[in-house]
Structure 1
Amino acid sequence: MQAISSPRWALASLSLSMLLSSLGTSIANVGLPTLAEAFNASFQQVQWVVLAYLLAITTLIVSAGRLGDLIGRRRLLMAGIALFTVASALCSLAPTLGLLIAARTAQGFGAAIMMALTMASVADSVPKARAGSAMGLLGTMSAVGTALGPSLGGALIAGFGWQLMFLVNVPLGILAVLLVRRFLPVDGPRTKTDRPRFDHLGTLLLTLTLASYALAMTLGRGSFGQLNVTLLCAALLGVGLFLRVESRAASPLIQLAMFRHPALGSGFAASALVATVMMATLVVGPFYLSGALALDAAAIGLVMSTGPLVAALVGVPAGRAVDRFGPHRIGVTGLVAMAAGSALLPLLATRFGVPGYIAPLTAITAGYALFQAANNTAVMHDVRADQRGVVGGLINLSRNLGLITGASVMGTVFAAGSGSTDLATALPHALEAGLRMSFAVATGLILLALAVGFAVERRAPRPSNAGA
């Protein structure tokens, strides 16, 4: 089937791919108790249904982006969606927990390809003047998938059983493959002589390094033991080895020269800092809302859904604002909103209760949507065509690493601020102290991201050919 040039339908295919990959991240969480009962397993065992998916995305996403640059983004994106779809079917058929975790790992590999290449394919499919709007729409679809996952998963489990939680991806995945095949621009021809070799050693080192770091941050649920320290040391060693190998490789996985352009390096760093702050709202929120404001699980879910809902509503307008006013101005506006929300949240929440929590949370999430649309547009702007996949992978990797780090570090900060080892039984005044400390750190991280952005804007005008 010959691809048809249609920016609107091409963007629709990319949006569906982004929706599916983000839905896969959130939909399984609500099913963990059901899976524990179905497989007669402990919570520590069934949590690998979620963890395996996240680890697969984190370790493969940069390599997937680079591979798309080498063999063609359209054809690899179709393969990634097909892998995600088949793995979803296998998840629904898994007779044992081990096979379910293996299928979720394969599903995560497919999602890594989808996340990296949807963003990288924007420049191939949409006029540059509409790039901000396209990035805003992708951000909206990511937020919708994240918000829809728990409610959709809960409804499917209640009505049909846990298998439908995964099987629902199959018809959507088939539709996504058909849309990509029909409407995404065909990959350009490339002869064997001008095709760079894939960096197998660099890929292996980066995969092992990222896996070590992710496990160090997630195992023990934020409590650092000997295994966590060992894994963190292995990750640090892996970084050194990876940099050494990449500096000598004829065709490196990541061209280190890209990071000489401050706009790219600062974009990745700011994305990680901001994601760390967003994870604070997800980690700290439930404990505070339950212990200090005495909300039940249903009420906590409603309050927490404010974030994804706001992100979904703001995403598209944020992208249009980027196209009109430029990424720097909108990015700064987003960071200012996040800093103000983070500073005000503990003050308003402790004084006005639930409304005082929701108002600054809305500012934080709206600011995040503005920042994401602006930062993604700025980073991908003028990146060479043969580097878009790896840069798209790096953007998503920086966000994922921020989320993983935030889950561990911000949880630890909250516990330290509350002075309690058991947050479930901590007194309200202790939880209020933890909230103040957590969002003081969050405000500091956002101010650091702002400082980096202003420094780069003053000292280093954006290069015309990043990644050269």
Structure 2
Amino acid sequence: MLTRERPRPERLRTRPWAWRLAIATVCFGAFMGQLDASIVTLTYQSLGTTFHAGPAAVEWVSLSYLLALIALLVPVGRFSDVHGRKLMYLYGFAVFTAASAACGLAPGLLLLVGFRVLQALGAALMQANSVALVTTSAPPERMRTALGMQAAGQAIGLALGPTVGGALVATLGWRWVFLVNVPVGIVALVAGHYLLPRTRQRSGDARLDPLGVLLLAGASTAALLGMSVSSGLGLPAWTAALLFTAALGTGWVFARRQSRCAHPLVDLRLLRTGGTAAGLAAGLCGYLVLFGPLVLVPVVFARHGESALFAGLVLTALPLGFALAATLAERLLPASWDDRTRARAGALGCLAALALLAVLPMTGALLPVPLALLGLALGVFTPANNTLVMQAVPQSAAGTGGGMVNMGRGLGTALGVAAVTLALHLAPGPAGPRSAVAVLLVFAAAAVALTSRKASSKH
């Protein structure tokens, strides 16, 4: 029972709407992952006070999770392609839920960071399989609708995160930011057991490149540590240059090994088909732009003496816009627009919203407008961009492709956290928030450029 996938009940499996229940179940995981991601940024001030730590140390509560997630997503996706995506997805829920409870009970910052790594293992098992379960459960002609439903689940988690996180921090304390995942995880485990389909196609080869995993983790860790040192982590300044050099060198070795290894962690052949590489890079930029404000706004409001609850209420405009667009775009956008046109329009919308954010005063009365516009643009961009990537990946490699999509998402999220923290540190005072927005503008412009490229043939 614990080592093989269980089928859905026959009377459920044969229903024409069974795929919608499967997608709704996947949305539990999307909801949990994004709820956790958006809630944690609201705890930074409380964690710093509780554990007597500065921002550069506290941000590792997020970065440790993201680094582990980045390193694990593709290997877990490959493993799931062979052993069953439903089975691995359910194990992910179990690990994530147990680790969330441990995070909520952690007695120190170091242990909290360690439990976040364990939580990332559970998240990797869920996220590496989420896109694959969506694309293999839904009929081909409903794939964009299904991915839009998943994006809406993510957006609802993001939308509730700032408000719920602010309320929890202000009333029950930061520990409940993690403990709130436990009841959701239990419900999702039961739903997944009965509603998710078994894996129909498997790749048959789970062999991995362990050195590739270590090189990817090393390059990511070195780069983010370098940014963290530059943000005031407390290490000598020369270590930042050393870390950035190590990140570049390790990244180069990783890329070379992937091109020569018999069983690469990242199959470069997939990156050369159908504009997959450009789509993954654009997705990274999109998530960097999404998570940057989730770090920036609470810091700005804390400097003005506002509460975490107030910051959370203002921030809700961003993921709420994302949820509305991801849910309604299919009905409201012109039917003649293909996925590339939608992705490009969403990226241009991000650029316009950030330009508005750069010139408006950062007050509670005005901030919701550009944040909501940014969320709407990202809600158009993300499902369309993910669809472009997954349509270019063979179904037998759907888990690997889903892992690559989520690895790009994790890298974008980590860079959003680190880049905003670095910008605020390098430009202290009133200039800091504007500098952070300028960084986000650069990545939004990159997303526009990437979605404007014509895809090469899938074959």
Normalising by the residue count of structure 2, what TM-score does the alignment of the two structures yield?
0.84
**How far apart, in 2, do the equivalents of 1:388 and 1:220 lie?**
38
**How far apart, in 2, do the equivalents of 1:391 and 1:189 lie?**
14
Query: Residues 338 and 165 of structure 1: is their aligned pair in 2 closer, same or farther, counting only changes over 3 Å?
Result: closer
**How far apart, in 1, do the equivalents of 2:169 and 2:369 lie?**
32
Which residue does 1:3 correspond to in 2?
Answer: 8
Asked if 1:100 corresponds to 2:112, the answer is yes
How many Å apart are 1:130 and its aligned residue? Answer: 1.7
**How far apart, in 2, do the equivalents of 1:448 and 1:190 lie?**
35
* SS at 1:455 equivalent: coil
Which residue does 1:380 correspond to in 2?
Answer: 390
Which amino acid letter does the alignment assign opposite residue 378 of structure 2? Y
How many Å apart are 1:307 and its aligned residue? Answer: 0.8
Give the alignment of 1:63-82 within 5 angstroms. Answer: 63-82=75-94
**How far apart, in 2, do the equivalents of 1:284 and 1:50 lie?**
14
Which amino acid letter does the alignment assign opposite residue 452 of structure 2? F
**Which sections of structure 2, spanning at least 5 residues, go unmatched?**
1-5
Q: Is the 8 A contact 1:222 1:408 kept in 2?
A: no
RMSD: 3.2
**How far apart, in 2, do the equivalents of 1:405 and 1:222 lie?**
16
Which residue does 2:137 correspond to in 1?
Answer: 125
Asked if 1:56 corresponds to 2:54, the answer is no
How many Å apart are 1:23 and its aligned residue? Answer: 2.0
The correspondence for 1:239, drawn from 238, 248, 251, is 251
Which residue does 2:280 correspond to in 1?
Answer: 268
The correspondence for 2:379, drawn from 369, 386, 389, is 369
Q: Is the 8 A contact 1:135 1:319 kept in 2?
A: no
Q: Is the 8 A contact 1:322 1:373 kept in 2?
A: no
Query: Residues 8 and 152 of structure 1: is their aligned pair in 2 closer, same or farther, counting only changes over 3 Å?
Result: same
Which residue does 2:444 correspond to in 1?
Answer: 446
Which residue does 2:318 correspond to in 1?
Answer: 307
Q: Is the 8 A contact 1:69 1:387 kept in 2?
A: yes
Query: Residues 146 and 221 of structure 1: is their aligned pair in 2 closer, same or farther, counting only changes over 3 Å?
Result: farther
Give the fraction of aligned pairs with identical amino acids, expressed as a percent.
32
**How far apart, in 2, do the equivalents of 1:131 and 1:309 lie?**
23
How many Å apart are 1:142 and its aligned residue? Answer: 1.8
Which residue does 2:348 correspond to in 1?
Answer: 336
Q: Is the 8 A contact 1:133 1:318 kept in 2?
A: no
Give the alignment of 1:45-444 within 5 angstroms. Answer: 47-156=59-168, 162-188=174-200, 194-221=204-231, 225-261=237-273, 263-285=275-297, 296-297=306-307, 299-319=310-330, 324=335, 325-347=337-359, 349-350=360-361, 357-409=367-419, 421-423=427-429, 426=430, 430=431, 435=434, 439=437, 442-444=440-442
Query: Residues 213 and 323 of structure 1: is their aligned pair in 2 closer, same or farther, counting only changes over 3 Å?
Result: farther
**How far apart, in 2, do the equivalents of 1:171 and 1:317 lie?**
29
Q: Is the 8 A contact 1:222 1:411 kept in 2?
A: no
How many Å apart are 1:366 and its aligned residue? Answer: 0.8
**How far apart, in 2, do the equivalents of 1:346 and 1:36 lie?**
28
Query: Residues 163 and 404 of structure 1: is their aligned pair in 2 closer, same or farther, counting only changes over 3 Å?
Result: closer
Q: Is the 8 A contact 2:317 2:372 kept in 1?
A: yes
How many Å apart are 1:279 and its aligned residue? Answer: 4.2
**How far apart, in 2, do the equivalents of 1:171 and 1:354 lie?**
32
How many Å apart are 1:37 and its aligned residue? Answer: 6.0
**How far apart, in 1, do the equivalents of 2:310 and 2:46 lie?**
21
* SS at 1:383 equivalent: coil
**How far apart, in 2, do the equivalents of 1:413 and 1:47 lie?**
14
Q: Which moved more, 1:326-335 or 1:279-288?
A: 279-288
**How far apart, in 2, do the equivalents of 1:235 and 1:205 lie?**
9
Q: Is the 8 A contact 2:162 2:313 kept in 1?
A: no
Per-residue CA shift, 1:234-271, capped at 9, x if unaligned?
A: 22122222222222222222111122225111101212
Q: Is the 8 A contact 2:79 2:206 kept in 1?
A: no
How many Å apart are 1:376 and its aligned residue? Answer: 0.6
**How far apart, in 1, do the equivalents of 2:266 and 2:127 lie?**
18
Q: Is the 8 A contact 1:59 1:211 kept in 2?
A: no
Q: Which moved more, 1:230-239 or 1:45-54?
A: 45-54
Query: Residues 202 and 50 of structure 1: is their aligned pair in 2 closer, same or farther, counting only changes over 3 Å?
Result: closer
Which amino acid letter does the alignment assign opposite residue 334 of structure 1? G
How many Å apart are 1:161 and its aligned residue? Answer: 5.5
Q: Is the 8 A contact 1:65 1:393 kept in 2?
A: yes
Which amino acid letter does the alignment assign opposite residue 444 of structure 2? I
**How far apart, in 2, do the equivalents of 1:372 and 1:299 lie?**
28
How many Å apart are 1:300 and its aligned residue? Answer: 4.1
Per-residue CA shift, 1:133-168, capped at 9, x if unaligned?
A: 222222222222233234334544566555543333
Query: Residues 68 and 229 of structure 1: is their aligned pair in 2 closer, same or farther, counting only changes over 3 Å?
Result: farther
Per-residue CA shift, 1:346-403, capped at 9, x if unaligned?
A: 34x15x9665543333222211110001101111114212322222222222233233
Query: Residues 148 and 225 of structure 1: is their aligned pair in 2 closer, same or farther, counting only changes over 3 Å?
Result: farther
**How far apart, in 1, do the equivalents of 2:150 and 2:60 lie?**
27
**How far apart, in 2, do the equivalents of 1:72 and 1:134 lie?**
20
**How far apart, in 2, do the equivalents of 1:260 and 1:97 lie?**
42
Aligned length: 442
**How far apart, in 2, do the equivalents of 1:411 and 1:47 lie?**
8
Which amino acid letter does the alignment assign opposite residue 272 of structure 1? L
**How far apart, in 1, do the equivalents of 2:333 and 2:391 lie?**
12
Q: Is the 8 A contact 1:246 1:255 kept in 2?
A: yes
**Which sections of structure 1, spanning at least 5 residues, go unmatched?**
none
**How far apart, in 1, do the equivalents of 2:89 and 2:104 lie?**
23
Normalising by the residue count of structure 1, what TM-score does the alignment of the two structures yield?
0.83
Query: Residues 26 and 393 of structure 1: is their aligned pair in 2 closer, same or farther, counting only changes over 3 Å?
Result: same
Q: Is the 8 A contact 1:73 1:121 kept in 2?
A: yes
Q: Is the 8 A contact 2:42 2:312 kept in 1?
A: no
**How far apart, in 1, do the equivalents of 2:440 and 2:39 lie?**
27
